């Protein structure tokens, strides 16, 4: 059964052909709505945004999101108020976990049967990520952070995505070792893995497992951390990252499997940061491989023991990425 909270759009909401257990009309503060529905069982709530007092202030929606199940709420946005349709406003409510919003009855009917996930609204979400640092920014930042962290905006996070290109190329373990190296370099760091729960085996509270829909809110939660490492796994939305490295294991069987899955993979990787992982090749062999694949590797990582201190090996890659100086 559904709940309707209406104001300016009460006539429009009257066109809905749905079962309603409760309907209220007027303007209500966030606290009033919480008192009304926090302990009230309902299937979905259709909220005419104009029924919320001071609805243009996202803080009032944030109050609701902290006390009500936002996955059950469909917001009817006022189509005559440009502020509520601006990307900045929509991005703020997405950050609260509110993914279901529309401006018309057709949209409400669709969302009742096909609720949005974060993936459906990710293109509207403006995550404040830092740009690739320039030499000038690096010089300024090195004097701003005693820990040697380099970011393009003071107080922002450098979000490094780590993704396996070949199967089992070691993204999870490398993420762990990079986190330890960054902390050894004095950089506050959090690591996040998406759609898996392998991090629990490291017994490290600074390594967090989330599903894809929870990634954006987790990034925002840690936006004051200097570096965030994201083990992307099967997530393709790499545009949330400041930079991404792609791990490639150069064994014949791994490469042949990769080519069977995608014959144009190396063409696609041109201009991207490909890291050869677990590499036992000589520098000559690496050069021959790069020539044959027609790509230039960004860095070569030899086989490493995660129980050891790998700062000396990995710091060079972090310097090259602009994460430390």
- How crowded is residue 252: how many other Cβ atoms within 10 Å of its Cβ? 7
Q: The tokens of 253 are what?
A: 């069987």
Mean pLDDT of the chain: 82
Domain ranges of the chain: 2-124, 135-321
The string over 288-309, giving b where at least 16 C-beta atoms fall within 10 Å of a residue's C-beta and e elsewhere, is ebeeebebebebebeebeeeee
Closest CA to 30 of 52, 5, 8: 52
pLDDT < 50 regions, the chain: 128-155
Residue 104 and residue 78 in contact, taking contact as beta carbons nearer than 8 Å: no
Cβ proximity of 80 and 52 under 8 Å: no
> Which pLDDT score, from 0 to 100, does residue 151 have?
34
Helix (H) or strand (E) run with residue 210 in it: strand 207-210
CATH number of 135-321: 3.40.50.300
Distance CA 325, CA 315 (A): 9
- Per CATH, domain 2-124 is 3.40.50: yes
Q: What is the pLDDT of residues 47-98, one digit of tens each?
A: 999 999 999 888 888 888 878 888 899 999 998 888 888 888 888 888 788 8
pLDDT digits (tens, 9 = 90+) for 128-153: 443 344 333 333 333 333 334 333 32
Full-prediction pTM beyond 0.85? no
Same fold for the domain at 2-124 and the one at 135-321?
A: yes
The pLDDT, as a whole number, for residue 52 is 94
300 strand-pairing partners: 276
Length of the chain: 325
Q: Taking a C-beta distance cutoff of 8 angstroms, is the pair 235, 166 a contact? A: no
Q: Which residues contact 248 (CB under 8 A, 6 or more apart)?
A: 165, 166, 169, 255, 258, 274, 275, 276, 277, 297
For residues 264 and 182, is the Cβ–Cβ distance under 8 A? no
Confidence (pLDDT) at 127: 56
């Amino acid at each position: 059964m559904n709940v309707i909270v209406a104001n300016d759009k009460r006539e429009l909401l009257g066109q809905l052909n749905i079962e309603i257990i409760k309907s209220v009309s007027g303007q209500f503060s966030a606290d009033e709505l919480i008192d009304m529905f926090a302990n009230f069982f309902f299937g979905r709530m259709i909220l005419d945004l104009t029924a919320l007092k001071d609805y243009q202030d996202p803080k009032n929606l944030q109050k609701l999101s902290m006390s009500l199940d936002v996955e059950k709420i469909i917001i009817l946005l006022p189509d005559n108020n440009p502020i509520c349709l601006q990307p900045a406003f929509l991005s703020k409510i997405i950050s609260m976990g509110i993914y279901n919003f529309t401006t018309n009855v057709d949209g409400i009917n669709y969302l009742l049967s096909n609720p949005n996930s974060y993936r459906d609204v990710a293109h509207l979400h403006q995550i404040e990520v830092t740009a690739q640092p320039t030499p000038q920014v690096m010089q300024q930042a090195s004097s701003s952070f005693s820990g040697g962290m380099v970011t393009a905006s003071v107080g922002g996070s450098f979000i490094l995505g780590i993704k396996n290109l070949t199967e089992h190329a070691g993204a999870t373990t490398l993420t762990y070792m990079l986190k330890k190296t960054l902390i050894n370099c004095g950089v506050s760091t959090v690591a996040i893995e998406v759609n898996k729960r392998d991090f629990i085996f490291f017994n490290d509270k600074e390594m967090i497992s989330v599903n894809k829909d929870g990634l954006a809110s987790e990034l925002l939660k840690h936006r004051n951390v200097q570096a965030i490492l994201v083990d992307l796994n099967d997530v393709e939305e790499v545009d949330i990252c400041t930079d991404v490295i792609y791990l490639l294991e150069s064994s014949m069987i791994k490469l042949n499997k990769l080519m069977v899955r995608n014959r144009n993979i190396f063409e696609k990787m041109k201009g991207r940061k490909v890291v050869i992982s677990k590499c036992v090749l000589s520098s000559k062999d690496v050069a021959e491989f790069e020539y044959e694949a027609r790509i230039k590797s960004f860095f070569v990582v030899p086989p490493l023991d995660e129980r050891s201190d790998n700062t000396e090996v990995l710091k060079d890659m972090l310097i090259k990425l602009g994460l430390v100086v």
